[in-house]
Structure formats: structure tokens, C-alpha cells
């Protein structure tokens, strides 16, 4: 079986398992997994930039928030229908990521991290500043009645799960396809050795620019979906911690692997969920887990599996 066929088989199997889980999990875990699938989509977006292109952003929450507010504000203020609002959300994130890319890609390394962090702070503070419309830190609720698409009630747990799965599957298959094509190979080349890639004649800036836009758009789609599926839009999602989360999920799951973001998001979610049942210091447990992973599995869970046992893992 060719690498490409194996990759397709793996991804389709994963999607099939997630589909079956929708009907076999308890209500609680079904609800959790719906949320995780949206967050994993956010991590997939982050992985395009960090895992494959080697650009460490500390400001991805701005793209998530652009999607969230791009969807939420037209629905909240103008009563727009969910589907066009979702499209607007993704377009807002795409536009913002293009603008940020144009400016931030003038920097590299630590400076890139700081510039993205600063842009994200600008977005966060703007949301607070324009509180008259955004309701600032409190945010606002998208009513249950407004969260319907073509007769489908997105507040119904099964419909919500399937919508989240559709979003996740789309993002997963798109990124897997991109990474199998020449464009994706160039991104990996940029990550491995930017100067050499440039010397080989590739337009590194163009590739990095597109990577930021693809990454930001997927993150924005996750943000828009979060608002639509869970009914809340708030500035917390634009704060620094929501820029750190996708980094952690990708690091834990395995940077530069297609299913690592999902594995990381699941691991982190349930680590916090279960450990908070024992102690209020559950973030300490999460921190220790992260340290152990960095010490003993530097490539993350899926990265280590690829390194040790399954070298073809995409």
C-alpha cells in the first residue's frame, strides 16, 4: 500500500470511528468530544503553521476570535442567518491572518512570536474597547432559536456532534492533502532549512504567507463553529491563554502529524477533567505531564509513535 493510500485509510478510519462514537458514547462524553473536535480543528490550524512550517505563533487566539466574532456580531447585531455568518467569520479570520502575515513575516524566530503576541493583544483589547457592541469581557449569548441551519437544530447534542465532526474532518482532510502536495513539502522544507529552500528557488515568503492564511482561516472556522455550536461569544477566547492552548495540544499530540492535534486536545481535556476531580491543583498535574512529555517524548505522542513504530504516519 502506498504512503498516500495508507494516509487516506488512516484518516477515513479515524473519521469513521469518530462517527460511530457519536452513537455509542454517553451523553457526557459525546458532548465533550463535540467540543474537543472543534478545539482540535483549531489545533489543526495551528499545526499548519507551527508543526509543518516551523513558525511559532503566540497570537493564534486572534484568528479564533476573528472567526468567533465574525460570526457572532452579525448574528447578534443584525440577526444574520448562521450560514452566511459562518462564512463571514471565516473570511474575517482569513483577512486578519493575511494582514498579520504581511507585517509579522518581516520578522523571524523570537521576534515573530512577540509580534504575533502583540497583534493578539491588540485584538483582545479592541474587543474590550468596543464593549458597546462586543459586550467586552462578558461577551454575549447566541440564542438557541438562532442556532439552526436548514432545519437542523445545532443545539441538539447529536446534530452538534456531527456538525463538529464535519468541521474537523474537512480541516483534517484538507491539511492532509496539502501536506502530500508540493506546496506542503515546501512548507516542511522551510521548517527544516529556510535558507536552503530559498536557495533552491522557492518563494519562501509566499509559502509562509499562505501558511499563515490557511492556518488562520482554519482557526477562524473553529472559532466561528464554537460560537455557533455552543452559543457563547466572549473576549476570553481572544486572551493569551487561548493562544497557548493550541500550542500545548499540538506539542502534546505531536507537531507535524495530522492527527496529533486531536490526540493532544483529547489528552489535555480529559487530563484536566479527571484530575480536577481530585485536586484544585489540576493545572500543576497538566504542567507535570507536559514536562514529562518534553523530557521523554519530545516529539509528542503521535510524533513518538511515528519515530519508534510507524514511520509512515502522516
Partner 1 sequence: MPKLMTSRRSLLKGAAAGGLLTASPLVARFASAQSSAPIKIGFQQHATGIGAAYGRWYGRTTDAAVKAINEAGGINGRPVEIIAEDDGTDPKRGAEVVEKFANQHGTDVAFGTLFSHVVYGSAPAAGEQKMPYFVVSEGHHVASGKLNRYTLQPGITDVKSQVQAMAPYVSENLGKKVTMIFPDFAFGHDHRDFFTAAIEAQGGEVLEHIAIPPTETSFTKYFPKIPRDTEVLYHVMVGPAVLTFVKELGEFFGPSSPEIFGFIDSLEAVDLSSPGLEFLEGTYFWEGNPRYAQADQTSFDKNFRAAVGVDENGASVSDPADVSTYAHMFGCWETLHVIKAGMEAADYQGPQDRQKLIEAVEAMSDMAESDAHPQGPKVFNGKTHQVFGKQYISRVEGGKLLRVHATSIEDTLYPDEVDYTTMTF
In the complex, the residues that contact partner 1 under the rule CB under 8 A are 26-28, 31-32, 35, 121, 125, 128-129, 131-132, 135-144, 155, 157, 230-232, 234-237, 273, 276, 280, 282-283
Coil, strand or helix at 73: helix
Q: What is the DSSP string of 43-72?
A: HHHHHIIIIIT----S-THHHHHHHHHHHH
Taking the complex as a whole, the smallest distance from the CB of residue 306 to partner 1 amounts, in Å, to 30
Taking the complex as a whole, the smallest distance from the CB of residue 269 to partner 1 amounts, in Å, to 9
Taking the complex as a whole, the smallest distance from the CB of residue 34 to partner 1 amounts, in Å, to 10
Instruction: Report yes or no: 38 and 226 within 8 Å, Cβ to Cβ.
Output: yes
Taking the complex as a whole, the smallest distance from the CB of residue 63 to partner 1 amounts, in Å, to 17
CB-nearer residue toward partner 1: 192 or 273:
273
Residue entry with cell 447529536: 158
If one counts every other C-beta atom within 10 angstroms of the C-beta of residue 17, the result is: 10
Classify residue 135 by its DSSP letter. -
Task: Give φ, ψ of 114 to 5 degrees.
Answer: -70, -40
CB-nearer residue toward partner 1: 2 or 26:
26
Classify residue 236 by its DSSP letter. G
CB-nearer residue toward partner 1: 112 or 230:
230
CB-nearer residue toward partner 1: 135 or 177:
135
CB-nearer residue toward partner 1: 168 or 237:
237
Task: Give φ, ψ of 278 to 5 degrees.
Answer: -105, -35
CB-nearer residue toward partner 1: 148 or 155:
155
Taking the complex as a whole, the smallest distance from the CB of residue 131 to partner 1 amounts, in Å, to 5
Taking the complex as a whole, the smallest distance from the CB of residue 176 to partner 1 amounts, in Å, to 27
Coil, strand or helix at 181: coil
Please list, in sequence order, all residues whose beta carbon lies within 8 angstroms of the beta carbon of residue 95, skipping any fewer than 6 positions away.
66
Amino acid at each position: 500500500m502506498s504512503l498516500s493510500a495508507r494516509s487516506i485509510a488512516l484518516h477515513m478510519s479515524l473519521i469513521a470511528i469518530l462517527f460511530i462514537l457519536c452513537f455509542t458514547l454517553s451523553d457526557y462524553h459525546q458532548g465533550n468530544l463535540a467540543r474537543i473536535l472543534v478545539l482540535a480543528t483549531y489545533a489543526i490550524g495551528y499545526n499548519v503553521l507551527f508543526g509543518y512550517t516551523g513558525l511559532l505563533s503566540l497570537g493564534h487566539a486572534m484568528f479564533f476570535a476573528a472567526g468567533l466574532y465574525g460570526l457572532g456580531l452579525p448574528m447578534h447585531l443584525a440577526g444574520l442567518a448562521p450560514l452566511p455568518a459562518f462564512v463571514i467569520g471565516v473570511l474575517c479570520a482569513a483577512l486578519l491572518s493575511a494582514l498579520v502575515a504581511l507585517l509579522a513575516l518581516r520578522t523571524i524566530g523570537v521576534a515573530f512570536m512577540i509580534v504575533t503576541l502583540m497583534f493578539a493583544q491588540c485584538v483582545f483589547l479592541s474587543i474590550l474597547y468596543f464593549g458597546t457592541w462586543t459586550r467586552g469581557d462578558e461577551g454575549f449569548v447566541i440564542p438557541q432559536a438562532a442556532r439552526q441551519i436548514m432545519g437542523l437544530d445545532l443545539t441538539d447534542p447529536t446534530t452538534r456532534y456531527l456538525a463538529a465532526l464535519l468541521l474537523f474532518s474537512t480541516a483534517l482532510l484538507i491539511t492532509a492533502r496539502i501536506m502530500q502536495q508540493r506546496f506542503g513539502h515546501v512548507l516542511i522544507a522551510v521548517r527544516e532549512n529556510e535558507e536552503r529552500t530559498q536557495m533552491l528557488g522557492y518563494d519562501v515568503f509566499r509559502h509562509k504567507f499562505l501558511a499563515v492564511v490557511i492556518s488562520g482561516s482554519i482557526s477562524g472556522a473553529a472559532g466561528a463553529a464554537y460560537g455557533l455550536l455552543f452559543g457563547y461569544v466572549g473576549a476570553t477566547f481572544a486572551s493569551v491563554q487561548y493562544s497557548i492552548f493550541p500550542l500545548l495540544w499540538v506539542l502534546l499530540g505531536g507537531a507535524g502529524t495530522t492527527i496529533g492535534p486531536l490526540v493532544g486536545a483529547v489528552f489535555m481535556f480529559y487530563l484536566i477533567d479527571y484530575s480536577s476531580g481530585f485536586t484544585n491543583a489540576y493545572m500543576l498535574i497538566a504542567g507535570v505531564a507536559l514536562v514529562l512529555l518534553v523530557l521523554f517524548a519530545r516529539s509528542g505522542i503521535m510524533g513518538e509513535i511515528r519515530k519508534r513504530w510507524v514511520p509512515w504516519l502522516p
